[in-house]
Structure 1
C-alpha cells in the first residue's frame, strides 16, 4: 500500500526502486540519490508559501547537505580508483618474485646453492620439546634435529645438507616433518620452508605464487622473500 511519502515523491517525478525479496514480495527503498535530493529541494523552493518563505539559514543548511552528498559520492569513486591502482601495484610486485625464493608454510624444501636447507617453525603455544625431521624423496630420514623446549612464536633451524655418514644429500626436494609437544599434549606447529617461485597468476584480483612441491600460495601468505 502506497504511503503519503511514496505519493509525494511520485508527484515530484522521483521513482521509488522496488526490490524483489526471496519470497516473491516487493519492498520499496526510501533512500534518495543525489538527483532526487536536488528535485526535492527545487520542489520546496517552487511550492514555498510566499508569505512564509524558507528561512535562509535552512536553505544554506540544505545546500550544505547537498554539497556533502556530492562530495561523498565523488570520494567513493576516488577511493575505488585508488584501490584498483593498489591492486595493480600488488600484482606488479608479485611478478618480481619469479625466480626468487620465499618463506611460506609447507613441508617440501629445496637445497640452497651453498648446500643444506634453512626453515622455520611457527609454534602456537609453548612446547617442552620440538623436533625437525628431514627426509629425501624416497621417504628415508636423512637428519633429525632436537630443538628442545621453545616459547610460542617463530623459531628457525638449519641443516648443512650432510647425511649421517658425512656425504652430501644433494639439492632435494626434501620433506620436512615438525613435531611439537608440551608434555603429553601436542602443540600446534606450522612448518615454514623456502621455495622458488616459478610463476605468478591472479585469483579474484589477488596475486597467487606457484611454488614447486607446494602448489599455489597467495602472495599474502609469504612470510619472507629471499
Structure 2
C-alpha cells in the first residue's frame, strides 16, 4: 500500500514538474493587455500622496486612454487580416485575366491565327490625311491603311491581316505607326493595341501587374480588357 502511494505521489510530482517546465518554456507576449493597464493604474493609486489624491477626471482620462490603446491594437490586427484577405481576393480575380486581351499603349500589333488585329488611335484634335503604316519584323512596309480626315477622340481600327496585294500574312507581331496632319503639322499619333495577357503578378504597392509580349504593365494603366 505504501509503495502504491509513493508511486502515485512520484507520478504526481513529475506531472507538476512537467507542467511547470512547460509554463517556463512558453514565450511571454510583449503586448500589453487591459489587465496590465489596470495593474499599472492600481500601482499608481497605491503610491499616490494621501493628502493629494488623484483627480477623478484624471483617473477617467487614464482609463479611457488605456481602453483606446487596446482598441487601436485590436483594430490594427483586424486591418492586417483584412489586407491579407484582400490580397488573396485580388490574386484570385487576377488569375481570371490570363488568356484575355488588354488594350495598352504600344507600337506593335499582334496578328492572331485567325488573321485579325485591332486597336485604337488617340486623336487629340481633328486630323487630316491620317494613315496607318504596318511593317513586318524585317522592317518592310506590308500595308498602309488610309483613314483620311477624322474628328478628335478614340478611333478604332481593324486590320484583316492582308498586305497590299491582298495576300494573307502569317500570324505574329508587326510594327505599327499612325501619322496625320494636325493643323499645319504632320505628326505621329499614339496608338493602343490589344495584347494577350500571358500571366499576372501581385506586386505589393504596385497592385496587379499583367505580363504581355509588350512587357509588364500595371492593371491601372490598361484601358480595356477584351
TM-score range, shorter chain: 0.5 to 0.7
Query: Aligned with 2:162: secondary structure?
Result: coil
State whether residues 34 and 66 of structure 1, in contact with CA within 8 Å, keep that contact through their aligned partners in structure 2. no
Find the aligned partners of 1:146 and 1:169 in 2 and give their Cα distance.
21
Query: For residues 59 and 101 of structure 1, do their structure 2 counterparts lie closer, same or farther at Cα, with a shift above 3 Å needed?
Result: same
Q: Secondary structure at the match of 1:76?
A: helix
Task: Please list the CA deviations of residues 71-101 of structure 1 after superposition, one character each: whole Å capped at 9, or x if unmatched.
Answer: 1222222222222222222222222222222
Distance 1:116 1:57, change over 3 A: same
CA distance in 2, matches of 1:84, 1:119: 37
Give the length in aligned residue pairs.
190
Judging changes above 3 Å, is the alpha-carbon distance between structure 1 residues 121 and 67 closer, same or farther for their aligned structure 2 residues? Answer: farther
Q: Cα distance 1:224–1:165, how it changes in 2: closer, same or farther (>3 A)?
A: same
Q: Which residue of structure 1 lines up, in the alignment, with residue 159 of structure 2?
A: 159
2:81 aligned partner: 81
Q: Which runs of 5 or more structure 1 residues have no equivalent in the other structure?
A: 1-32
Q: What 5-or-longer segments of structure 2 have no aligned partner?
A: 1-30
Q: Look up the SS of the partner of 2:139 in the other structure.
A: coil
Contact 2:131 2:144 in 1 (8 A): no
By how many angstroms is 1:208 displaced? 3.1
Root-mean-square deviation (CA, aligned residues, Å) is 3.3
**Equivalent-residue separation in structure 1 for 2:146 and 2:91 (angstroms):** 38
TM-score, normalised with respect to structure 2: 0.66
Question: What residue number does 1:132 align with?
Answer: 132
Quick one: distance in 1 between partners of 2:84 and 2:185?
47
1:14-35 superposed Cα distances (whole Å, 9 cap, x missing partner): xxxxxxxxxxxxxxxxxxx968
Distance 1:111 1:61, change over 3 A: same
What SS class does the counterpart of residue 110 from structure 1 fall into?
strand
Normalised by the length of structure 1, the TM-score is: 0.66
The answer to whether the 8 Å contact 1:127/1:187 transfers is: no
Which structure has the greater CA radius of gyration?
2
Q: 1:156, 1:200 → 2: CA distance?
A: 26
1:208–1:216 contact (8 Å) kept in structure 2? yes
Q: CA deviation at 1:184?
A: 4.8
Residue 180 of structure 1 and its aligned partner are, at CA, apart by 5.9
Q: Does the Cα contact within 8 Å between 2:103 and 2:195 map onto a contact in 1? A: yes
Residue 93 of structure 1 is matched in structure 2 by 93
